[in-house]
Amino acid sequence: MNLSTYQAIYAVVSRIPRGQVATYGQVAALAGLPGHARQVGYALSALNNPSVPWHRVINAKGEISLRSGGSEGDELQRVRLEDEGVHFDCHGRIPLDLYRWRP
């Protein structure tokens, strides 16, 4: 994947408002990459710009996707989302009907 593809993904993620979330697939579609949710994950794992709100991207089940190398990033993602007013249910899922970004 080239740099412009990553930039398109980062541009979409940067638009997700505080207190809302988007799925990897949703970000991919909005970035012109329908069906390439995994590419969004690759782009976010390569991210080195702290101003891009990576923590607002979750999987289609409303869950934080587990990262390789431990759960520290997963815990940070949950804390950041909760600080923005996003609530998790008893199964650790975010109700997408309440918190999904609808651009």
CATH code at position 41: 1.10.10.10
Give the pLDDT score at 66. Answer: 78
Tell me the β-bridge partners of 22. Answer: 57
Give the pLDDT score at 73. Answer: 62
- Determine contact, residues 59/92, Cβ cutoff 8 Å: no
Its domain, for residue 47, covers 3-99
Q: Is the pLDDT of residue 34 over 60?
A: yes
Give the pLDDT score at 71. Answer: 55
pTM of the model: 0.92
What's the CA gap between 40 and 96, in Å, rounded? 19
**What is the total count of domains within the chain?**
1
